[in-house]
Amino acid sequence: MTDPYKVLGVSPSASDEEVKKAYRELARKYHPDHYQNDPLSDLAEEKMKEITAAYDQIMDMRRGGRSGCSSDAGQSQFSDIRRMINNNRIAEAEELLDGVPQSSRDAEWYFLKGSVFYTRGWLDEAYRHFNQAVQMNPNNQEYRMALQQMSWQRSHGSNPGSMPGGGMYCSPCNFCTSMICADCCCHCMGGRGCF
Amino acid sequence: MFGYVRPFKPELRMKEYEAYKAVYCGLCKELGRQYGIFARFTLSYDFTFLAILSMAFQKTAPDFSKIRCLINPLKKCSACRQNGVTERIASQAMITLYHKCRDQLLDENWLARLPVSLSFPFVRWCWQKARQKEPQYDCFAADMMQNQQLAESRLSGPDPAAEPTAHFLSQICETLSDDPDQKRVLARFGYLLGRYIYLSDALDDLEKDAKKHRFNPFLQRYTVSELKSVSYSPAVESIHGTIAELEKAFSLLNLNDWQPIAENIVYYGLKQSLQNILRKKEKIE
């Protein structure tokens, strides 16, 4: 395996701050947003993965070397997990999240766990966790946005402003159209729609 | 699959309705050709949608022809078929039917399973024929049934209980395109579609499951009367949330000529099916 310090272009004696800074600069350079519709976007993505893996490896090595700094490590562990989720490394992120003891599960933990569920398509659990995150930290804009979006979806069955034709069609709940539909369901397919 | 994925006819244009009906008729005819006349009566709307989704990713246009309908032989109707797709979906429908029947044989009491028992030898014969053509699909379906039993034995809530069906459809949809990006979108779309079908069926069967003491994901935390008193909102919200996410994945799919019909099904049909389930419950009261 290649040397993670080489990948990030820093010396092994660099401080955590310096490693983080190098990582951020490279990540910005290879960010997928820069490569949208670019024929080389897959290569940029590869590069991005390599950088993230190197950064995670360095941070893991350094954290393993230290002992007895639980609260601090808890915080930085969450930012790593956040990055993993952003890079679609869901299984790893979930494993780390589940390893966090109950006592240190704060609003951020619930938000990240909710994000993992959301990515997997476990929408009920995602909603429950976002809700808990907002309850624990009502001032966080990001948590509130996530919860609001899901609340809208759960009550409307759609996303704000997503209907084709910009709302020209009438609602399928409309009584008259429903009657037509009930009628058509009976005869259009010979009345044998399901098993 | 259970027939919850269907178009909302008042919003379909005539040409879209004709095309949808032609796919249905084409599939029905193909079932008859491969598996005999009785197989034709097992066709569901869900597989018609799957056929449309499959056709949308083919590089050639499908063939339309006139056929005589079994129900009304005097009238000719259009049938749409596409080499490779129509045969495949017909076989997949038979495999699904077999696994569903097998599940019912384990489940129900003696009298309730009588019709299934009587038709089972025929269904089994169809399955043996179909699985040779679609071995991978049969593996996926068998896995799904096994995981479903496991999830039920653990008395899971909606998320884990819907997982086997959702994962199954995710695998099936993912194979429809060769494009890696569309594959990713299809995998999520299929997952959410499977989740929608499973949760809709669970809501539909709520009372029946409670009466027969069968597993139902929505009855793990609430009773039927509790759910009824809040207009089934925990279940309706789960299904609404699923439809909304499904729409987001759908808007990243490129379905060419089939886009308008698929849009009708995704944006209106799914919600209409949910309304139909709820209306049926009101009538029972």
Contact list, A181 vs chain B (CB under 8 Å): 8-10, 272
The strand pair at B63-68 and B76-81 is best described as antiparallel
Instruction: List pLDDT tens digits, range A129-143.
Output: 999 999 999 999 999
Strand partners, B65: B79
* CA–CA distances in Å: residue B266 to residues A75, B6, B8, B154, B193: 42, 9, 9, 32, 9
B268: helix, coil or strand? Answer: helix
Q: Which amino acid is at A134?
A: V
Q: What is the distance in angstroms between the Cα of B108 and the nearest Cα belonging to chain A?
A: 16
Contact list, A123 vs chain B (CB under 8 Å): 159, 195, 238, 241-242, 245
What pLDDT shows up at residue B8? 95
Distance CA B284, CA B77 (A): 37
Report the Cα A143 to chain-centroid distance in Å: 12
Split at pLDDT 50, 70, 90, the class of A184 is very low
Strand partners, B77: B67
Residue B37 at interface with chain A, using a CB cutoff of 8 Å? no
What pLDDT shows up at residue A17? 87
Residues recorded for chain B = 285
B134: helix, coil or strand? Answer: coil
Contact list, B10 vs chain A (CB under 8 Å): 172, 177, 180-181, 184
Instruction: List pLDDT tens digits, range B239-281.
Output: 999 999 999 889 888 898 999 999 999 999 999 999 999 999 9
Q: Which residue of A has its CA nearest to B72?
A: A190
**Locate tokens 């109950």: which residue?**
A102
User: Above 70 in pLDDT, residue B188?
Assistant: yes
Question: How many percent of chain A have pLDDT more than 70?
Answer: 71
Q: What angle (nearest 5°) sits at the alpha carbon of residue B51, between those of residues B69 and B202?
A: 100
Contact list, B251 vs chain A (CB under 8 Å): 162
What pLDDT shows up at residue B108? 64
Instruction: List pLDDT tens digits, range B131-155.
Output: 999 999 999 999 999 999 999 998 8
CB-based contacts of B192, cutoff 8 Å, min separation 6:
A121, B166, B242, B245, B246, B249
Q: What is the distance in angstroms between the Cα of A90 and the nearest Cα belonging to chain B?
A: 14
Domains with residue ranges and CATH for chain B: 9-284 (1.10.600.10)
Split at pLDDT 50, 70, 90, the class of A71 is very low
**Locate tokens 């490394």: which residue?**
A89
Split at pLDDT 50, 70, 90, the class of A161 is low
Residue B143 at interface with chain A, using a CB cutoff of 8 Å? no
What pLDDT shows up at residue A64? 64
What pLDDT shows up at residue A171? 44
Backbone angles phi, psi at B78, to 5 degrees: -80, 145
Chain A residues with CB-CB distance to B under 8 A?
A: 117, 121-125, 127, 150, 152-159, 162-164, 169, 172-173, 177-178, 180-182, 184-185, 188-190, 192-195
Contact list, B159 vs chain A (CB under 8 Å): 117, 122-125
Considering only the beta carbons, identify the residue of B6, B21, B241 that sits closest to A123: B241
Q: Which of A101, A92, A145 is nearest to A119 (CA)?
A: A92
Instruction: List pLDDT tens digits, range B95-107.
Output: 999 999 988 887 6
Distance CA B262, CA B255 (A): 8
The complex scores an ipTM of 0.84
Distance between the two ends of chain A, CA-based, in angstroms?
55
Q: What is the pTM of this model?
A: 0.76
SS3 of chain A:
CCCHHHHHCCCCCCCHHHHHHHHHHHHHHCCHHHHCCCCCHHHHHHHHHHHHHHHHHHHHHHHHHCCCCHHHHHHHHHHHHHHHHHCCCHHHHHHHHHCCCHHHCCHHHHHHHHHHHHHHCCHHHHHHHHHHHHHHCCCCHHHHHHHHHHHHHHHHCCCCCCCHHHHCCCCCCCHHHHHHHHHHHHHCCCCCCCC
How many A×B Cβ pairs under 8 Å? 113
Q: Which amino acid is at B20?
A: Y
> Alpha-carbon torsion A185, A189, A195, B1, what sign?
negative
CB B198 within 8 A of CB B166: yes
Q: Do B272 and A163 touch (CB under 8 A)?
A: no
